[in-house]
Chains A and B, each alone.
Chain A
Amino acid sequence: MIYPYLILAQFLALAIQEYIPSLPYGARVYLLPLVFFYGALAVPPPGMLLLAFTGGLMWDALVASLAVDGNLEISLGWSIVIYAALGAIMSGFRPLFQRGHGWEIHCLLSGPLVCIFVLSEYLMITFRRGGFIFPKIIWWRIGGEGLAAMIAAPFVFLFLHWLALGFGLVARRRDREAARV
């Protein structure tokens, strides 16, 4: 079963990303979204929704949803919705993944999708705290995280795909084509 494997990978990615030092302008290297985007390509849409739920829940439980004076800045569940929306975009490219163009799609889309994710988090906290401010550093941070995601994406993809192939969790391309014939 690929789902326990991907959920475990999400959990480990969340723990590992805590040890990656931040980049200039305070940009972070996020691994959990990259694992989720791989899952969105590798499994059908209902499975993607399951991974969006587990990934978003873990994200909200550990990273976002900080309670300040008894109020949550981002309610538990928002990250799940954003993950699902971004996963739906990634899922649209699943036919290309099945034709063997997985890592390129994963790499190209991970950057913009991570940027959208981080920007949506910023918009939510801006709405909550007030003061609609967008200094340059915010854009550098959002863009830096997208760039970092694009750089890390091929490594995450190849590692996860290599393990999934090794354990027989995803079908090899030639096997899929043979089954189709």
Chain B
Amino acid sequence: MRHLNAIALAIFLVVVMALFALTPRHTEMMQARFLGVIAPLLKNGSSLQKQIIGFREGMKTLNQLDAENKQLRVELDELKAMDQTLQGLASENNQLRRALQYRERSVFKLVPARIIARDAATWWSTIEVDKGSSDGVTPDQPVLTEDGLVGKTTTDIAPHASKVLLISDENCGVAATVEGTREHGIVRGTRTSTVTAPDLTLGFLSKLAGLKTGQKVYSSGEGGVFPVGILIGEVKQFEVLPLEGTASIIPSVDLSTIEDVFIVTGGSK
């Protein structure tokens, strides 16, 4: 029996050493493959969870549903009208940029995605969504909602699922600017941050920045991952440290309750 244990331990160590020797590229491939295997289970679990919640919330009277339906139709019409106006403005903007010999601003394509699992780990703030490489998702693509920035895609991308690193994670840095100022800094989460209690800070500010509570923080577009002008959140408190100014930020998106997001892919609409 002792011989058998020793042989098993030796085989175990060899296999683990082989895993350690894998390149990051191979590791990413393995992770993507495993995500692809578990994704159908997560999707089914997610839709079951939604059905249960939907059943509880669906206990509405016909009058309530009728009123809600009318309100949604009005909102849809408003959004359609706004979309047409914005398309016109985008084309006008591009014409003017061409006239000024600026590089034409690309029109991003938004891929709608549904969250199938969230906040699985203790030390990382991530979610899994139901869109992957077959939908055009690649690593480091911004993820947002109508309220603002959510995070970016990671390298863990299966054909029909992918993992998103949230802005509340310490590893997700976003170059940002503050409305009404010329201040630039980096927004990132802290190590103690969670999805339910996100803790964002805007660092590398000038000590004289003097930011006020409620000032909006937007992505500045530097770094090339996040497009310019996406709302990140608003200033909660400004603090002067020995070397820099820093502000705590309240994210504009409630990361604990979002269900649907948009992934900004590179192609044109």
* Total count of chain A residues near the partner, CB < 8 A: 54
A57 vs B34: C-alpha distance in the bound complex, in angstroms? 10
Q: B interface, how many residues as a size bin?
A: 35 or more
Number of A-B contacts defined by CB within 8 Å: 128
Cβ proximity bits A110-154 to B, threshold 8 Å, 1 near / 0 not? 000000001001100110010101010110010001000000000
Asked whether A58 is an interface residue with its Cβ less than 8 Å from the other chain, the reply is yes
Cβ proximity bits A57-93 to B, threshold 8 Å, 1 near / 0 not? 1101111111110111101110011001000000000
A76-B19, A77-B19, A137-B192 in contact; A66/B42 too (CB < 8 A)?
Answer: no
A75 vs B16: C-alpha distance in the bound complex, in angstroms? 11
A126 vs B191: C-alpha distance in the bound complex, in angstroms? 9
Which segment, of B1-9, B104-112, B209-217, faces chain A?
Answer: B1-9
Minimum distance in angstroms from A88 CB to a CB of chain B:
10
Interface of A is mostly: helix
Cβ proximity bits A1-44 to B, threshold 8 Å, 1 near / 0 not? 00000000001101111110010011110000000000000001
Instruction: Indicate which residue in B35, B191, B195 contacts A22 across the interface (CB closer than 8 Å).
Output: B195
Cβ proximity bits B184-206 to A, threshold 8 Å, 1 near / 0 not? 00000001101111000000000
Residue contact A45 to B34, C-beta cutoff 8 Å: no
Residue contact B117 to A61, C-beta cutoff 8 Å: no
A22-B195, A49-B9, A67-B156 in contact; A62/B34 too (CB < 8 A)?
Answer: yes
Asked whether A166 is an interface residue with its Cβ less than 8 Å from the other chain, the reply is no
A67-B156, A76-B30 in contact; A15/B22 too (CB < 8 A)?
Answer: no
A62-B35, A129-B191 in contact; A67/B155 too (CB < 8 A)?
Answer: yes
Q: List, in ascending order, chain A residues with CB within 8 A of B155's CB.
A: 67, 70
Q: List, in ascending order, chain A residues with CB within 8 A of B120's CB.
A: 17-18, 28, 62-63
Residue contact B194 to A22, C-beta cutoff 8 Å: yes
Residue contact B15 to A53, C-beta cutoff 8 Å: yes
Residue contact B30 to A46, C-beta cutoff 8 Å: no
A156 vs B128: C-alpha distance in the bound complex, in angstroms? 26
Residue contact A77 to B20, C-beta cutoff 8 Å: yes
A66 vs B12: C-alpha distance in the bound complex, in angstroms? 24
Residue contact A145 to B170, C-beta cutoff 8 Å: no
A73 vs B119: C-alpha distance in the bound complex, in angstroms? 17
Asked whether B54 is an interface residue with its Cβ less than 8 Å from the other chain, the reply is no
A67-B24, A76-B27, A80-B16 in contact; A19/B117 too (CB < 8 A)?
Answer: yes
Residue contact B35 to A72, C-beta cutoff 8 Å: no
B residues in contact (CB < 8 Å) with A: 1, 4-5, 7-9, 12, 15-16, 19-20, 22, 24, 27-28, 30-31, 34-35, 38, 41-42, 45-46, 49, 117-124, 126, 128, 154-156, 163, 165, 170-171, 191-192, 194-197
Instruction: Report, nearest first, the 9 A-B pairs whose CB atoms are least far apart.
Output: A46-B8, A26-B194, A77-B19, A61-B34, A18-B117, A68-B171, A49-B12, A67-B155, A63-B121
